[in-house]
Amino acid sequence: MILDEFKTIKSEGEGYYTEKRSKFLAFAHHVSSVEEIKEILARYRKKYFDARHVCYAYMLGPERTEFRANDDGEPSSTAGKPILGQINSNELTDILIVVVRYYGGVNLGTSGLIVAYREAAADAIAHSEIETRQVEEVITYTFAYPMMNDVMRIVKEMQPRIISQIYDNTCEIKLGIRKNEAEQLRNRLQKLTFE
């Protein structure tokens, strides 16, 4: 069975945590590329230019293999790692969590920092709407116009998402379907070609 579902957030979520006058503002975003992440981080660094640290972690892709955690000057593994830990424990992907820290004048120590960043990230996730999405595969099929009824019968039966369609002497239809149904759809369309 092919893994064809993943959990991500639908809406932006904000979280907050305070400890010994240090304030931790957390923001969760749905993201789909490293470029998008860089743009969002640049906006936060500009908006919160007076903050001591802008730490973050992200996870990308349904396989959850592309990720990064950044401590932005905090002691090693006290900020990015606990943020990433929250992403992992909620099994989320295509997500960026940024935690902005305003220093309150009292050092929290490594365990205090880990708790603060973890709780701020957890609060941002708690204020986000989580949804399950399907991993889609896109199939493009080219066929002669007289085959239209046969193609549309398969589309009606399997219910893929129609991304685009061109009807001319040679027709083309682009379909998005759950990854574990893609092979079946491809085989059924291929059969039409050889009938």
Per residue in 111-144, pLDDT (tens digit) is 999 999 999 999 999 999 999 988 888 899 999 8
Residues 158-169, mean pLDDT to the nearest whole number:
88
Tell me the helices (H) and strands (E) count for the chain, helix number first: 5, 10
Strand-pair category, 53-60 with 22-30: unpaired
pLDDT, tens digit (0-9, with 9 covering 90-100), for 2-12: 567 899 999 89
- Of 79-88, 101-110, 141-150, 169-178, highest mean pLDDT: 79-88
Who's near 186: CB < 8 A, 6+ residues apart?
139
Q: For the packed helices 179-193 and 148-158, what is the interaxial angle rounded to 10 degrees?
A: 160
Predicted pLDDT of residue 82: 98
Who's near 13: CB < 8 A, 6+ residues apart?
27, 28, 124, 125, 126, 127, 128, 129
Who's near 48: CB < 8 A, 6+ residues apart?
25, 54, 100
Give me 168's structure tokens: 């001319």
Residue 7 CA to residue 134 CA, distance in Å, equals 9
Residues 3-26, mean pLDDT to the nearest whole number:
92
Predicted pLDDT of residue 1: 46
Residues 99-107, mean pLDDT to the nearest whole number:
94
Q: What is the DSSP letter of 135?
A: P
Q: Is the pLDDT of residue 192 over 90?
A: no
Burial of residue 95 (CB within 10 Å: 0-12, 13-18, 19+) is buried
119: three-class secondary structure by DSSP: helix
pLDDT, tens digit (0-9, with 9 covering 90-100), for 56-91: 999 999 888 999 999 999 999 999 999 999 999 999
Predicted pLDDT of residue 167: 86
Predicted pLDDT of residue 81: 97
Predicted pLDDT of residue 88: 96
Residue 39 CA to residue 109 CA, distance in Å, equals 31
Mean pLDDT (the chain, rounded): 92
